[in-house]
Structure 1
């Protein structure tokens, strides 16, 4: 690598160490028992595949959600609330939405973190949207599912199969060698910025075991001295992420998994710049390594 700075983004840092789910004094309430009919000031999340129906682009204009008074109540499903505002999922025909100022945008607009609560709500709602969409029919007998009246669950009226929201555990690993860290770029994913080693927990694994396996599979490195450094819900992929810093154990030669990664290389703290934001656990970990090294 040259001594040019390795950038994580194109703008100056705009927050402290908060991640997307850190919404300050605002209170996120996801209890199903708090569900209620929509009110005029409530917000609605409408999704279609990887798009979301919003106004604003998150850069020159903040992301804005449509309000519940623009919808038929029968087409809305209660999701959660933040403070006194409830958020609902639109379950009607997406092709019929035609609200002035709103348009279908790629859901990556929610990564803009502008404003924080709206983008956090969008991430979380998208997680539930995928769960509802992917479980319209019972995986056991194929019957169309119905909503439970007692809890957040879908029920098969034929075989009584109960389906709860899926949360997939995954790990992120910062592999260090003194003042160097391994960074990567994904091969076939929309996100093209710097990343760390990452992967899903498999059956029978602890997150620590996953970290060791993914380090070997993705870059051919053994690791030691794992140090837990945080977690994060990541609704765009239905994940709960566990972050670890680790030290390389033995050889520092990288053997890249070419099917997963376009790039994988060592970079020094000096070469890194501060991330443009810390909304993700990955950027938080890289930013902390830039500032503090292996400490967390």
Structure 2
């Protein structure tokens, strides 16, 4: 199922179950042999893992931590559009955590890298698994700290714009955390 089709599906639970099944099947198919000794891996009957009877290697599903950040300045929200991606709707700043980095550090780094802004008062909102890319999304709201002049990383983003709350388009989907966070800000439910 494509990401766009998933986002348009009204029966979220059905789509989510299907995509999770696809994610697990893809993981099992891609991890058939031990990366240490090349022997076949076996499925555990007790937990979701694969193990090697020969050398004892244990392999868990890969889940990468990623942040989504709704940067705001008073009554304005920073909305972006990706460069060179199929997805063309408004989005928020997002990116993967690096080794040794906390989620809050990831928030600061990603905002600085993608739009050249500093943030403060970083507050966790909620999380969401995103099986298309094997990630767990952690959503945060962060207040602008200083100048609101945007310097886009044009390799990542095509647009970065501050929109007043009353000009933010209504989002008709709650499937993706990005949509939920934009709508929460628009309707003043971010706290």
Please give the TM-score of this superposition, normalised by the length of structure 1: 0.61
Matched residues in 2 for 1:191 and 1:130: separation?
A: 23
User: What displacement does 1:156 show?
Assistant: 2.3
Partners of 2:23 and 2:60 lie apart in 1 by 12
Q: Identify the residue that residue 182 of structure 2 maps to in structure 1.
A: 286
Which aligned runs of 4 or more in structure 1 are off by greater than 4 angstroms?
none
Q: Give the Cα–Cα distance (whole angstroms) in 1 for the partners of residues 7 and 33 of structure 2.
A: 31
Residue of structure 1 in register with 2:120 after alignment: 224
Contact 1:125 1:235 in 2 (8 A): no
- Which sections of structure 2, spanning at least 5 residues, go unmatched? none
Map of 1:164 onto structure 2: 60
Q: CA deviation at 1:129?
A: 2.5
Structure 1 portions without partners, runs of 5+: 1-51, 53-105
Task: Give the length in aligned residue pairs.
Answer: 191
Q: Give the conservation status (yes or no) of the 8 Å contact 1:167–1:238.
A: yes
Could you say which residue in structure 2 is the equivalent of 1:173?
69
Residue 133 (structure 1) shift: 2.6
- 1:236-271 deviation per Cα after TM superposition (whole angstroms, max 9, x unaligned): 111111111111111111111111112212111121
Over the residues paired in the alignment, what is the CA RMSD in angstroms? 1.7
CA distance, structure 2, for counterparts of residue 150 and residue 231 of structure 1: 26
3-state secondary structure, aligned to 2:151: coil
Q: Is the 8 A contact 1:182 1:267 kept in 2?
A: yes
What is aligned with 2:22?
A: 126
Q: For 1:39-54, what aligned pairs fall within 5 Å after superposition?
A: 52=1
When you count helix as a share of all residues, which structure comes out higher?
2
1:140: how far off?
1.9
Larger Rg: 1
1:200 aligns with 2:105: no
* Contact 2:130–2:137 under 8 Å retained in 1: yes
Q: TM-score, normalised by structure 2?
A: 0.92
User: Paired residue for 2:151, among 248, 252, 255?
Assistant: 255
Matches within 5 A, 1:260-271: 260-271=156-167
1:145 aligns with 2:41: yes
1:111 and 1:119 in contact (8 A); partners too: no
Structure 2 Cα separation of the partners of residues 261 and 269 of structure 1: 21
Shift of 1:107: 5.3
- In 2, Cα distance between equivalents of 1:266 and 1:126: 37
**Secondary structure in 1 aligned to 2:56?**
coil
Structure 1 contact 123–236 (Cα < 8 Å) conserved:
yes
- Which of 105, 109, 114 aligns to 1:209? It is 105
